[in-house]
Amino acid sequence: MVEGLEVALTDLQSSWNNVQHHTDEISSSRLLVRRGQAFNITLYFRNRAFQPGLDNIIFVTETGPLPDLSKGTRAVFSLEGHPGSSPWIASLQTIGANSLEVSLCAPPMAAVGRYLLKVHIKSLQGPVTAYKLGEFILLFNPWCPEDAVYLESEPQRQEYVMNDYGFIYQGNKNWIRPCPWNYGQFEENIIDICLELLDKSLNFQIDPATDCALRGSPVYISRVVSAMINSNDDNGVLNGNWGENYSDGTNPTEWMGSVAILKQWHATGCQPVRYGQCWVFAAVTCTVMRCLGIPTRVITNFNSGHDTDGNLIIDEYYDNTGRILENKKKDSVWNFHVWNECWMARNDLPPGFGGWQVLDATPQETSNGLYCCGPASVRAIKEGEVDLNYDTAFAFSMVNADCMAWLVFGGKEQKLHQDTSTVGNFISTKSIQSDERDDITENYKYREGSLQERQVFLKALQKLKAGRSPGSLRTESQPRSVPLSDSPRSLATPSLQPSDVVQVSLKFQLLDSPDMGQDIRFVLLALNMSPQFKDLRVNLSAQSLLHDGSPLLPFWQDTAFITLSPEEAKTYPCKITYSQYSQYLSTDKLIRISALGEEKNSPEKILVKKIITLAYPSIVINVLGAAIVNQPLSIQVVFSNPLSEQVEDCVLTVEGSGLFRRQQRVLIGVLKPHHRASLTLETIPFKSGQRQIQANLRSNKFKDIKGYTNVYIGL
């Protein structure tokens, strides 16, 4: 009688498999594989060799707390293989004296997550024996043509899945600056935190069996992650804060990587981390999605619309000094807004709407009752197909809403102008395998002022109206292509049409680069394009803005009286001193200057505005000597106090995936006015290839002086 086959040992071949599956950066000791791609394991037997025909080996995989064959969270498949019985495949590779190498393959639509692998061995005369072989993690596979996240280009896969650092574009449309970010999706424990994040979602809490079964869909995973990065409905990762008080947490501008945020969330028992704003939500989303295997990039939209009532009109209110007023409707134009694009097929939509999808984890509006947004097809946004899932109308308004400016005076509202091109400028993302910026505005909208762009806007408006009750859309949103006869536009408004009758224009021009700690010098340019003399009274003001467009009280005002001869141009010089703006500045470093001009004996008014972002000098990082894996490396960090006053409580933070296992924090203390200092850090790089070091300096006067350098680490 032949005795039953006994398994003594299993080799999951983690190191070799992980290299083949592009997961070796995560671990070499744990098995992490991608769906739709085979991986090999070896079974070692205690008592004899495997005998085909005599021994029947059946594999079982299970995921989630309630594995179920009918839901696809449990699979049973034989080494002999009965076609059609299971989408999982096992095939024999080699038979040794007391071993058996087997190739296993998950179907390309399998649920991602943590799996248990078991085996049942049935010999002819012996009993059925069962063994637990081990655990593995299954991820999405952008290398597999049958996977919904398949991305054909290898350079794109390297950038949008494998690259663990990047840039998030901030500033304003006239001054775009890259902010370095450490995504760190392959750092220690990050994959476990990402899976924990899925398990903390409301969907899992309510119905874990169904939630796990749906984890094969990148559309479903996207919505879960979008909701879980913010904490509005659940114990999500980040608390949002758009105010000015961050004393019980971290100022959003101080963060420079996702790893510290995710590890803090995990270490505190999944208590939301304080605080995030849009770029932090998007950066952490990028880390989680890339870790799970979904190609993802971070997108910045300058002058981003937040249209709360869905009429594609954003109303802005001004008083007669040109000061912007708090918006009673809560419509706003954000100086910039950051979201994600994730690459996936959209089998739930008509053909042609797959590819890049907008995903926005910043809690702005609810979607099906939860604070999440997307995935919304970028192509659907461009074509005005705002009725397609998910949240396409809201995403459309972020890049395509019109702005209406109103003068509030004596209890009345006077329409100043309607601007069709302010919203949605310089939509930006990091280039593939380069540190340059890519402008992808044309992916979202046809050229401003073109017939196609106008047609798409009207199509979107009609679809929105069709989905609402009659009368809920205000009539101002209709005549987009008709100039408003009672509201001359200023030349500073880029949407000036030839048909507009403009007799006098106003425009701001900066004389110097606006550096923090320095006076801001600028001029108001006034141009008379008519054959008559013009007497102008111009009220000027400056006020700080928060990142979401919310205005603070004005801190500078001036009045100019300008007389213009026919076709004459004049400049009016202005200066805002550091002492005038320093105590009024928010950490967003935004100043909005505005001018409201009125002509003598005329009801017509001209509004011009400009947003200034104050700049800091960058931290300089020098790598001293050659960078080699597992060899000591010295890194010099040079920083300075840009202000003409002493700053205190200075802390320098340095991080970089593959170079530092955790954030390095150095207490600097006091920095004297304009003092320049340097220090040298020692580290031992533990990963090879192209890496980035990020640094941030904060004090009691500033929070986000940043710097970065790229470094290649050799083997």
Residue 502 pLDDT class (50, 70, 90 cuts): low
Q: Which residues pair with 10 in a beta bridge?
A: 43
Type of residue at 171: G
pLDDT for the residue numbered 81:
65
Supply 30's token pair: 């744990």
Give yes or no: residues 163 and 125 share one domain: no
Please, are residues 166 and 298 in contact by the beta-carbon 8 Å criterion? yes
Q: Please indicate whether residue 84 or residue 612 has the higher confidence score (pLDDT).
A: 612
Residue 574 lies in a domain: yes
Which of 241, 246, 244, 247 has the alpha carbon at shortest distance from 281? 241
pLDDT for the residue numbered 586:
86
To the question of whether residue 159 is assigned a binding role by annotation, the answer is no
Residue 450 lies in a domain: no
Catalytic-residue membership of 337 = yes
Q: What gap in Å lies between CA 269 and CA 635, rounded to an integer?
A: 34
How many C-beta atoms lie closer than 10 Å to residue 124's C-beta?
12
pLDDT of 501 above 80: no
Residue 471 pLDDT class (50, 70, 90 cuts): very low
Residue 161 lies in a domain: yes
pLDDT of 478 above 60: no
- How much helix, strand and coil, in percent to the nearest 5, is found in the chain? 15, 40, 45
Residue 496 pLDDT class (50, 70, 90 cuts): very low
Give yes or no: residues 27 and 89 share one domain: yes
What separation, in Å, do the N-terminal and C-terminal C-alpha atoms of the chain show? Answer: 55
Q: How many separate domains does the chain show?
A: 4
To the question of whether residue 400 is assigned a binding role by annotation, the answer is yes
Give yes or no: residues 229 and 318 share one domain: yes
Catalytic-residue membership of 144 = no
pLDDT for the residue numbered 444:
98
Give yes or no: residues 666 and 690 share one domain: yes
To the question of whether residue 402 is assigned a binding role by annotation, the answer is yes
| pLDDT, average across residues 130-134 | 96
pLDDT for the residue numbered 329:
61
Active-site hit among 211, 331, 360, 419: 360
pLDDT for the residue numbered 185:
98
Dihedrals phi, psi of 403, to nearest 5 degrees = -110, 135
Which residue blocks in 315-468 are alpha helix, DSSP H?
378-383, 392-400, 441-444, 451-466
Active-site hit among 21, 22, 306, 337: 337
Q: Which residues pair with 45 in a beta bridge?
A: 7
Overall residue count recorded for the chain in this entry: 715
pLDDT of 125 above 80: no
pLDDT tens string 651-684: 999 999 999 999 999 999 999 999 999 999 999 9
Give yes or no: residues 121 and 99 share one domain: yes
Please, are residues 501 and 284 in contact by the beta-carbon 8 Å criterion? no
Pairing of strands 534-545, 590-599: antiparallel
Active-site hit among 194, 270, 278, 650: 278
Q: What gap in Å lies between CA 522 and CA 20, rounded to an integer?
A: 58
| pLDDT, average across residues 311-336 | 85
Which of 463, 595, 446 has the alpha carbon at shortest distance from 525? 595
Give yes or no: residues 404 and 544 share one domain: no
pLDDT of 524 above 50: yes
Q: Please indicate whether residue 603 or residue 628 has the higher confidence score (pLDDT).
A: 628
Catalytic-residue membership of 307 = no
pLDDT of 497 above 60: no
Residue 492 lies in a domain: no
Lowest mean pLDDT among 326-330, 442-446, 628-632, 706-710: 326-330
Residue 153 pLDDT class (50, 70, 90 cuts): very high
Q: What gap in Å lies between CA 532 and CA 519, rounded to an integer?
A: 37
The domain boundary, picked from 139, 168, 191, lies at 139
pLDDT tens string 252-262: 999 999 999 99
pLDDT for the residue numbered 663:
95
Residue 209 lies in a domain: yes
Please, are residues 151 and 132 in contact by the beta-carbon 8 Å criterion? no
pTM of the model: 0.93
Cβ-proximal residues to 637 (8 Å cutoff; 6+ apart), any chain: 619, 620, 621, 622, 652, 654, 678, 679, 680, 681, 695, 707
Residue 487 lies in a domain: no
Give yes or no: residues 545 and 675 share one domain: no
Give yes or no: residues 636 and 602 share one domain: no
Half-sphere exposure (Cβ direction) of 610: Cα atoms closer than 13 Å: 21
Measured CA distances, 90 to 121, 145, 317 (Å): 14, 20, 66
pLDDT of 470 above 70: no
Q: Which domain holds residue 53?
A: 7-139
Residue 294 lies in a domain: yes
Give yes or no: residues 234 and 372 share one domain: yes
Lowest mean pLDDT among 41-45, 122-126, 529-533, 588-592: 122-126
pLDDT tens string 431-465: 998 999 999 999 999 999 899 998 999 999 999 98
To the question of whether residue 453 is assigned a binding role by annotation, the answer is yes
Cβ-proximal residues to 572 (8 Å cutoff; 6+ apart), any chain: 523, 524, 526, 538, 560, 562
The domain boundary, picked from 139, 162, 187, lies at 139
Residue 1 lies in a domain: no
Which residue blocks in 64-108 are alpha helix, DSSP H?
none
Query: What kind and span of H or E run contains 580?
Result: helix 578-581
Please, are residues 654 and 660 in contact by the beta-carbon 8 Å criterion? yes
Give yes or no: residues 358 and 278 share one domain: yes
The domain boundary, picked from 113, 139, 165, lies at 139
pLDDT of 480 above 70: no
Query: What kind and span of H or E run contains 28?
Result: none
Residue 84 pLDDT class (50, 70, 90 cuts): low
Assign residue 413 the CATH number of its domain.
3.90.260.10
| pLDDT, average across residues 467-484 | 38
Lowest mean pLDDT among 299-313, 460-474, 605-619, 692-706: 460-474
Give yes or no: residues 325 and 180 share one domain: yes
Report the share of the chain in percent with pLDDT over 70. 94
Residue 21 pLDDT class (50, 70, 90 cuts): very high
Which of 75, 40, 82, 73 has the alpha carbon at shortest distance from 60? 75
Half-sphere exposure (Cβ direction) of 508: Cα atoms closer than 13 Å: 26
Give yes or no: residues 130 and 219 share one domain: no
Assign residue 585 the CATH number of its domain.
2.60.40.10
pLDDT of 418 above 90: no
Which of 136, 133, 10, 125 has the alpha carbon at shortest distance from 56? 125
Q: What gap in Å lies between CA 428 and CA 352, rounded to an integer?
A: 23
pLDDT for the residue numbered 342:
98
Q: What is the mean pLDDT of the chain?
A: 91
pLDDT of 601 above 50: yes
Cβ-proximal residues to 34 (8 Å cutoff; 6+ apart), any chain: 21, 22, 23, 138, 139, 140, 141, 143, 144, 147, 293
